[in-house]
Amino acid sequence: MVVLTVALALAGCAASAPYVYRSGEFDRTRPDYGQSITDRRQVTICYSSLDSTPQQVAALAHAQCAKFSKAIRYIKHDYTLCPLATPVAAVFACVKKR
């Protein structure tokens, strides 16, 4: 029992990699459910400031916008979108490259 408790506690402390947040991603009633994105105006990255660097977050945002030949522009941070393991949301606009 003690081993199981320790294992569960350590699993909760595991590092969480930053990821792309998509509102309603699992909502099967959305008309775009399960379809690929054809254009991106903005990207939101969920991350933990304890496990991720600003460079990692920006690189992930850049990779997402670059799929559409766009660059990133920082908009804001939000603390109400992402789950507790990755509580910080960095929002970037995907803008035309100059």
39-67 pLDDT tens trace: 899 999 999 999 999 999 999 999 999 99
Higher pLDDT, 34 or 14: 34
Count CA within 13 A, CB hemisphere, residue 33.
7
pLDDT confidence of residue 23: 81
The DSSP H or E segment spanning 92 is: strand 88-96
pLDDT confidence of residue 8: 45
pTM of this prediction exceeds 0.95: no
- In degrees and rounded to multiples of 5, residue 25 shows phi and psi of -55, -35
Q: Which two tokens stand for residue 26?
A: 């699992």
d(CA 54, CA 51): 10
